[in-house]
Amino acid sequence: MTDDRVEYEPVSVKELVGEMKDIAELLVDLSYSSVLFDDPALAAEVLELESEMDVLQLRARMSLVMAGRSPEEAEELAPIFGIVGAAEKISDAAGDVAKVVLDDVGLPASLRAGLPDPVETLARAEIVEESPYVGRTLGDVNLETETGVRVLAVRRGNEWLLDPGRETTLRPGDVSLCRGPDDGIQGVFETMTGEPYERPAVPESEIADLDRAVETVVLMRNVSELAVDLAYGSVLFDDPELAREVSELEVEVDALKERFEAWALRAAAEVAEPVTIRGLLHIAASTEVISDAALEISEGVLRGLGSHPVVQAAVAESDEIIVSVPVAAGSDLDGTTIGEQALRTTTGTLVIAVRREGGDDGSTERSTGGHEPARDTDWVLTPSPETRLRAGDVLIAKGTRAGAERLRALAGAGDASGAEPGSE
């Protein structure tokens, strides 16, 4: 029998929190991708990573208990317990989404049609002995520069390499989790596995109420994922305004879930086999849990406890970083749209929000899928390609450090080293 005991080891809380953040975000992508591509192998990787998360959260809690020795320290550490618990909740919710695929719970095919094709595709590729990549390092292969594809993680037996670097050597049997543009993924997947990369065909639904239920779940997923990103941003920058936006998004997801339940019940009367809606119900419930967890991440900031420097450092040094980038007057971004600059393609970063001083020109918006009216806010959430940027805007973006440097250069933001916690 395998010994699954977890014993206390002196370890950096910063490293544990950063690793948990990276895994939680990867799990959300993996779980929904397993649904989108009807991929049991991808779903199985979710459960493997979920087990890894269970161990990390236990070690993090042990380290936090050892660190607290006074009421003042307890107050400082309380938000970190919340962040650790929230990451575990996101992990569990992602596991529940993956089980919809693994357990064949029942899922309308129209859900896959309703999920938008991602700007970047996430794929699981097991490297075969004959692959040209075998025995070469990621630096030697130079995937990201040559193909736009980035290896997010590698599973080697039971061991996870969660932040593979240029020196990581690829071996036969390695399971690589890769993200990149669709054409790049196709080439890399075939080179790694010797097999062509194919997406399953997705039939359209002819039941209007079911389509509405699916659209609502997709919107819930988008809003929840945004809430997690903004929550980590609120912690990194110790920003109560950003934390309040997370709270608003959590309320929005609750309202969307109520709307979804109404459409799903109506659709059950029209579907030939109502059991096929069960998976949709599971995904909606798990998605709500993710938005609740996002609120827990930002709760310390929201309640005036501030951000612990350890957590700020963990978020700043994690695999996929969040940066705050001001747009300078006369820069390449000043007066142009996100689409005109093709920021996702040219920088490899995703702008998740724009902080804008004043909204009297009508440009202020709150975009979470186009279903909600504009509100009186200085934030543009999930800005569209048509969102026009201007001097004084502050972009909240996520991506690699190299991508953040390119974004800062376009914004005329000076030092391209990335944002420090609390800086704007």
CATH code for the domain of 214: 1.20.58.220
> What is residue 9's predicted lDDT score, i.e. its pLDDT?
66
Is 65:42 a contact under the CB 8 Å cutoff? no
CA-to-CA distance for 57 and 53, rounded, in angstroms? Answer: 6
CA-to-CA distance for 177 and 139, rounded, in angstroms? Answer: 17
Q: Which of 349, 319, 318, 321 is nearest to 411 (CA)?
A: 349
> What is residue 95's predicted lDDT score, i.e. its pLDDT?
93
Tokens of 385: 């390609």
Is 205:164 a contact under the CB 8 Å cutoff? no
Give the number of other CB atoms < 10 A from CB of residue 147.
19
Specify whether 137 is located in the same domain as 175.
yes
Specify whether 97 is located in the same domain as 139.
no
Specify whether 269 is located in the same domain as 341.
no
Is residue 99 a part of any domain in this protein?
A: yes
Please write the tens of the pLDDT for every residue from 209-244: 777 777 788 888 888 888 888 888 888 888 888 888
Specify whether 209 is located in the same domain as 305.
yes
Specify whether 176 is located in the same domain as 215.
no
> What is residue 90's predicted lDDT score, i.e. its pLDDT?
94
Identify the domain boundary among 313, 340, 372. 313
Specify whether 85 is located in the same domain as 211.
yes
Is residue 172 a part of any domain in this protein?
A: yes
The dihedral formed by the CA atoms of 400, 404, 407 and 409, expressed in degrees to the nearest 10: -130
> What is residue 64's predicted lDDT score, i.e. its pLDDT?
82
Q: How many domains, in total, are found in the chain?
A: 3
Is residue 125 a part of any domain in this protein?
A: yes
Specify whether 219 is located in the same domain as 93.
yes
Specify whether 299 is located in the same domain as 326.
no
Is 115:182 a contact under the CB 8 Å cutoff? no
Is residue 256 a part of any domain in this protein?
A: yes
> What is residue 371's predicted lDDT score, i.e. its pLDDT?
38
Identify the domain boundary among 282, 313, 344. 313
Q: Which of 331, 344, 337 is nearest to 363 (CA)?
A: 337
Ramachandran angles phi, psi of 247, nearest 5°: -60, -40
Is residue 8 a part of any domain in this protein?
A: no
Specify whether 210 is located in the same domain as 293.
yes
Is residue 199 a part of any domain in this protein?
A: no
> What is residue 341's predicted lDDT score, i.e. its pLDDT?
85
Parent domain of 50: 13-108+205-313
Specify whether 387 is located in the same domain as 242.
no
Is residue 1 a part of any domain in this protein?
A: no
What is the distance of C-alpha 192 from the center of its chain?
25
For the chain, list residues with pLDDT below 50. 1-2, 360-377, 416-424
Q: What is the CATH number of the domain that holds 168?
A: 3.30.70.1450
CA-to-CA distance for 339 and 401, rounded, in angstroms? Answer: 21
Residues 6+ apart with CB under 8 A from 123: 33, 42, 177, 178, 179, 185, 189, 197
Please write the tens of the pLDDT for every residue from 314-341: 777 776 778 888 999 999 999 999 888 8
CA-to-CA distance for 189 and 153, rounded, in angstroms? Answer: 15
> Starting from the edge strand earliest in sequence, which strands make up the sheet with 379-381, in order?
321-326, 394-399, 350-355, 379-381
Specify whether 289 is located in the same domain as 213.
yes
Is residue 103 a part of any domain in this protein?
A: yes
Specify whether 57 is located in the same domain as 30.
yes
User: ∠68-71-76 over CA atoms, to 5°?
Assistant: 65
- Burial of residue 291 (CB within 10 Å: 0-12, 13-18, 19+) is buried
> What is residue 135's predicted lDDT score, i.e. its pLDDT?
92
CA-to-CA distance for 283 and 190, rounded, in angstroms? Answer: 31
**Three state DSSP letters for 314-330:** HHHCCCCEEEEEECCCC
Identify the domain boundary among 313, 343, 362. 313
Tokens of 239: 């920003």
